[in-house]
Amino acid sequence: MEKRSRRKFTTEFKAETVALIRRSGKSIAEVCREMALPESSVHRWLAQADIDSGQRDGLSTTEREELTRLKRELRVVREERDVLAKAIAFFTKDTTR
Protein backbone atom coordinates (compact mmCIF):
# COMPACT_ATOMS: atom_id res chain seq x y z
CA MET A 1 0.00 0.00 0.00
CA GLU A 2 1.40 3.37 -1.00
CA LYS A 3 2.00 5.87 1.77
CA ARG A 4 0.56 9.30 1.10
CA SER A 5 2.80 12.28 1.71
CA ARG A 6 1.65 14.80 4.25
CA ARG A 7 0.51 18.07 2.72
CA LYS A 8 1.47 21.40 4.26
CA PHE A 9 -0.87 24.36 4.18
CA THR A 10 0.12 27.98 4.68
CA THR A 11 -1.33 30.08 7.46
CA GLU A 12 -3.04 32.25 4.85
CA PHE A 13 -4.67 29.25 3.19
CA LYS A 14 -5.98 28.03 6.54
CA ALA A 15 -7.38 31.48 7.38
CA GLU A 16 -9.05 31.76 3.97
CA THR A 17 -10.60 28.31 4.36
CA VAL A 18 -11.94 29.19 7.81
CA ALA A 19 -13.38 32.46 6.46
CA LEU A 20 -14.96 30.62 3.52
CA ILE A 21 -16.68 28.14 5.83
CA ARG A 22 -17.97 30.88 8.12
CA ARG A 23 -19.36 33.13 5.39
CA SER A 24 -20.52 30.59 2.80
CA GLY A 25 -23.24 28.92 4.82
CA LYS A 26 -22.00 25.54 3.61
CA SER A 27 -21.20 22.75 5.99
CA ILE A 28 -17.62 21.89 6.85
CA ALA A 29 -18.00 18.55 5.06
CA GLU A 30 -19.19 20.24 1.85
CA VAL A 31 -16.29 22.68 1.76
CA CYS A 32 -13.82 19.90 2.54
CA ARG A 33 -15.14 17.74 -0.31
CA GLU A 34 -15.03 20.67 -2.76
CA MET A 35 -11.47 21.57 -1.81
CA ALA A 36 -10.24 17.97 -1.27
CA LEU A 37 -9.23 18.74 2.31
CA PRO A 38 -9.22 16.39 5.28
CA GLU A 39 -12.17 17.23 7.51
CA SER A 40 -10.22 16.61 10.72
CA SER A 41 -7.62 19.20 9.74
CA VAL A 42 -10.23 21.81 8.92
CA HIS A 43 -11.93 21.19 12.28
CA ARG A 44 -8.58 21.89 13.99
CA TRP A 45 -8.14 25.07 11.91
CA LEU A 46 -11.59 26.28 12.98
CA ALA A 47 -10.88 25.50 16.65
CA GLN A 48 -7.52 27.30 16.47
CA ALA A 49 -9.16 30.33 14.84
CA ASP A 50 -11.64 30.44 17.74
CA ILE A 51 -8.76 30.26 20.24
CA ASP A 52 -6.83 33.01 18.42
CA SER A 53 -9.89 35.28 18.43
CA GLY A 54 -10.51 34.68 22.15
CA GLN A 55 -13.79 32.82 21.68
CA ARG A 56 -12.36 29.60 23.09
CA ASP A 57 -9.77 28.66 25.74
CA GLY A 58 -6.42 27.27 24.71
CA LEU A 59 -2.97 28.22 23.45
CA SER A 60 -3.03 30.82 20.70
CA THR A 61 -0.97 30.28 17.58
CA THR A 62 1.65 32.73 18.85
CA GLU A 63 1.84 30.99 22.22
CA ARG A 64 2.05 27.58 20.55
CA GLU A 65 4.93 28.77 18.31
CA GLU A 66 6.75 30.21 21.34
CA LEU A 67 6.27 26.96 23.26
CA THR A 68 7.68 24.97 20.33
CA ARG A 69 10.68 27.32 20.11
CA LEU A 70 11.32 27.10 23.85
CA LYS A 71 11.11 23.29 23.84
CA ARG A 72 13.62 23.16 20.98
CA GLU A 73 15.93 25.57 22.82
CA LEU A 74 15.63 23.54 26.03
CA ARG A 75 16.56 20.36 24.16
CA VAL A 76 19.70 22.04 22.77
CA VAL A 77 20.68 23.41 26.19
CA ARG A 78 20.27 19.96 27.76
CA GLU A 79 22.44 18.39 25.04
CA GLU A 80 25.10 21.05 25.61
CA ARG A 81 24.95 20.45 29.39
CA ASP A 82 25.38 16.71 28.88
CA VAL A 83 28.39 17.24 26.60
CA LEU A 84 29.97 19.61 29.13
CA ALA A 85 29.36 17.15 31.98
CA LYS A 86 31.05 14.37 30.00
CA ALA A 87 33.98 16.67 29.16
CA ILE A 88 34.41 17.64 32.81
CA ALA A 89 34.30 13.99 33.85
CA PHE A 90 36.86 13.09 31.18
CA PHE A 91 39.32 15.84 32.12
CA THR A 92 38.99 15.41 35.89
CA LYS A 93 39.60 11.66 35.54
CA ASP A 94 42.92 12.34 33.72
CA THR A 95 44.22 14.82 36.31
CA THR A 96 43.81 12.45 39.30
CA ARG A 97 46.63 10.16 38.13
Domains in the chain: boundaries:
9-58, 60-97
User: What's the mean pLDDT when you consider all of the chain?
Assistant: 93
Is the CATH number 1.10.10 carried by domain 9-58? yes
pLDDT of res. 95: 60
Task: Give CA–CA dist 18/32, Å, rounded.
Answer: 11
pLDDT of res. 93: 85
Q: What percent of the chain has pLDDT over 70?
A: 95
Question: What mean pLDDT is predicted for residues 9-34?
Answer: 95
Q: What is the pLDDT of residues 11-20, one digit of tens each?
A: 999 999 999 9
Task: Give CA–CA dist 45/81, Å, rounded.
Answer: 38
Whether residue 28 is predicted with pLDDT greater than 60 in this model: the reply is yes
pLDDT of res. 3: 78
Task: Give CA–CA dist 58/44, Å, rounded.
Answer: 12
State CA 58 to chain mean position distance: 14
